[in-house]
A and B are shown apart, each in its own frame.
Chain A
Amino acid sequence: MTSLLEVKDLRVYYHTPGGTVKAVDDVTFDVQAGERFGLIGESGSGKSTIALAIMRLIRPPGRIESGEIWLDGENLLTLDEEEMRRRRLASVALVTQGAMNSLNPVIRIRQQYADGLNSHGVDVSADEARTRLADLLVRVGLKPEVADVYPHQLSGGMKQRVCMAFAMSLRPSLIIADEPTSALDVVVQRQVVQTLRQVQEDLNAAVILIGHDMGLMAQFAGRVGVMYAGKLVEEGPVRAIFRRPEHPYTRILMESLPSLDEKEVLAVVKGAPPSAQDRPAGCVFHPRCPFVMDICLREEPVFREVAPAQMAACHLHNDNIHKENLLHENAPKENVYNQVHNQDAAVSAPAREAKS
């Protein structure tokens, strides 16, 4: 089976006076038609850069260094600018966190919709456009009358839903939603994300939801990828990732989630993500990893299948490592680096009795 979207060995670097920033470094993943894929990562992990790369909207000093992005059997990176412009919105649409601010506040929604159709050479009568827009607005849970208002008359959540209506106007096969709700309140967030889900089901489009809110991911995605410092470190079905994360970073993310069920000691993660210019050698996560081994300082782990349909880049999954020892307690005692850097780490080794 061929995938709708295939991202292969993608590298996007920013060449700044302060050095080269490897925003996305050798990332490979695919998304099936009609799938809801979640891309999780903290700020600076490269998740938004991936969205921009798929849209071919990387601007200098950024550059796509290498890799391929296949959408519907076409490598987007080999298209000329005009061909790519036509694919945007028609084949792949992007809704960002600030999408609502991209609406012109003093032009009616109806006119902005018509402008979008025109620029893609869609020639429809005024009546036809009216009917189509009304239909789109109803699908995102708004009243058809919204077509005749100015964006400044709408709330943030409503504007964000208008943007979703626009995003689906040409029935793209892929919608990328980059933190579409992080500026919104929790009640509105639920409305917007459920709208996105409705849109996805109606169009049978694939959606990539980008964000850092694990709760949203659990509610929305069927499969998720986890980014850290420009690398995809883990990927798999959402249930597997939430139940049994195989990469230590994913596991720490899960443990540091505050719960609504019980008050608990908050798991405190030592250290901070590496600076973009100065990524550590070996595994990018090793300075914060509670399970770090000597090999992690030297060799970059291979991204490989570690459980059915679940991929991770971690040396703990090397065949010659005795997993039982490592996964039950902290990293090997003889590891000097670990002793220096994690002596007061509050991250406990999670109980992994189930594993063996």
Chain B
Amino acid sequence: MTALLEADDITKVFSSGVSRRAVTVALRDFSFRIDATRPSITGVVGESGSGKSTMARLLLGLETPTKGAVRFRGADLRHLSGGQRRDFRREVQAVFQDPFESFNSFYKVDHMLEVPIRKFKLARSAGEARQLILKTLKAVGLRAEETLGRFPHQLSGGQRQRVMVARALLLNPKLIVADEPVSMIDASLRATVLAALRNLRDEFGISLIYITHDLTTAFQICDDIIVLYRGYVAEAGDVTQVVKDPKHPYTQLLVSSIPRPDPDRQWAEEPQPSALAAQTRGDPGCLFMARCPHAFEPCVQSIPPLFRLSKRRAATCYLYQDQPTLALSEMDELLAGAAEEAPPQASVPVADAAR
């Protein structure tokens, strides 16, 4: 069956400098697919420079891959017909980090919500448009009287971000790509946005790609997680397995670096890179080797493939070279989406019939 959105072995290289010779591989051999009939929340985590935002921009068609293709319902994003492009713009929505920047501060919030209704002819009358807006605001936990008729600066960050989610929801999308949607929002308001996002899957069957540097919120709302390091998948699979028992040394470093809100659980010391790692810096081996406390001979030779550690998890690390390998293009086998609640073979026909 054709995926809603599919990244097929994409690589994105940015070149800079006078002769365009300074090359940065922002994303490397990345494959991923979202199946519209199995709504799921996938977290993509990594530090700055890990390629997570590049991945989001590629999936949204804001960048074109250097190698490989992103396909929407089987059609390459670069060659969509007018009708396909229109469908793509409606079914795949984005929510970005800074809810200030997405607003034109001279327009009231209403404008933000009316434009897509007009552009996509979602309502036949002003009254119907109004009803749609009210319904959508309610779905993200906002009250019309607290939001409509106001200017963006009169809303809190959490409210603004939920208006953005509402705007996306208006179009009845199949997938929302959210890039750091809560990182600029205060702690006491963050939960409201996260709850609104999670509600999208539970109530509307919308899939979400949640891009963040914050493992804790990813753990809270995601089904699956993909950990990126310098543009390459470090570890992927079921979010609980990955966060509770990280296998890749980079994921282990990430998890151990999180400051726990408990004075009695002190930070562990950062592990020292192995002696081998320090000597062989710059060699074409594993991308994490220079920082890795476990680096050994195979790591120097080549970038490790995905080793499958269980049904729902794999890591690109030679510590697990005894395990069977999994092609990067088959990574989505690990990401069962909402499979825990309903086995995939059962959920496909049911969801199809509902549409």
Q: In the assembled complex, how far is the CB of residue B49 from the closest CB belonging to chain A, in whole angstroms?
A: 9
Give the most central of B190, B192, B270: most A CB within 10 Å: B192
> Chain B: how many interface residues by the 8 Å CB criterion?
42
With an 8 A cutoff between CB atoms, is A185 at the interface? yes
With an 8 A cutoff between CB atoms, is A332 at the interface? no
> Chain A: how many interface residues by the 8 Å CB criterion?
38
Contact of A219 among B194, B213, B259 (CB under 8 A): B259
Report the nearest B residue to A43, measured CB to CB. Answer: B186
Q: Are A185 and B215 in contact (CB under 8 A)?
A: no
Contact of B217 among A43, A188, A216, A258 (CB under 8 A): A258
Report the nearest B residue to A269, measured CB to CB. Answer: B188
Q: Are A258 and B188 in contact (CB under 8 A)?
A: no
Contact of A268 among B47, B195, B213, B259 (CB under 8 A): B195
With an 8 A cutoff between CB atoms, is B296 at the interface? no
A250–B158 Cα distance when bound, in Å, is: 19
Chain A residues within an 8 Å CB radius of B261: 214-215, 217-218, 242, 254, 257
A264–B314 Cα distance when bound, in Å, is: 25
Chain A, residues 235-269, CB within 8 Å of chain B (1/0): the string is 00011001000000000111011111001101111
With an 8 A cutoff between CB atoms, is A286 at the interface? no
Chain B residues within an 8 Å CB radius of A214: 187, 261
Q: Are A185 and B188 in contact (CB under 8 A)?
A: no
Report the nearest B residue to A42, measured CB to CB. Answer: B186
Given A185-B48, A190-B267, A260-B260, answer yes or no on A269-B216 (Cβ-Cβ < 8 Å): no
Q: Are A258 and B270 in contact (CB under 8 A)?
A: no
A245–B215 Cα distance when bound, in Å, is: 26
Q: Are A266 and B258 in contact (CB under 8 A)?
A: no
Q: Are A260 and B188 in contact (CB under 8 A)?
A: no
Q: Are A189 and B257 in contact (CB under 8 A)?
A: yes
Give the most central of A187, A188, A189, A193: most B CB within 10 Å: A187
Contact of B189 among A191, A242, A272 (CB under 8 A): A272
Contact of A187 among B141, B187, B254 (CB under 8 A): B254
Q: Are A269 and B254 in contact (CB under 8 A)?
A: no
Q: In the assembled complex, how far is the CB of residue A224 from the closest CB belonging to chain B, in whole angstroms?
A: 10
With an 8 A cutoff between CB atoms, is B127 at the interface? no
Chain B residues within an 8 Å CB radius of A186: 47, 213-215, 254, 257-258
Report the nearest A residue to B48, measured CB to CB. Answer: A185
Q: In the assembled complex, how far is the CB of residue B106 from the closest CB belonging to chain A, in whole angstroms?
A: 17
With an 8 A cutoff between CB atoms, is A301 at the interface? no
Q: Are A266 and B186 in contact (CB under 8 A)?
A: no
Known: A218-B260, A258-B216. 9 other contacts (CB 8 A): A185-B48, A185-B213, A187-B270, A213-B187, A215-B259, A218-B259, A253-B187, A260-B243, A269-B192
The 8 closest A-B pairs by CB, nearest first: A215-B259, A272-B156, A42-B186, A185-B47, A266-B191, A214-B261, A219-B259, A190-B257
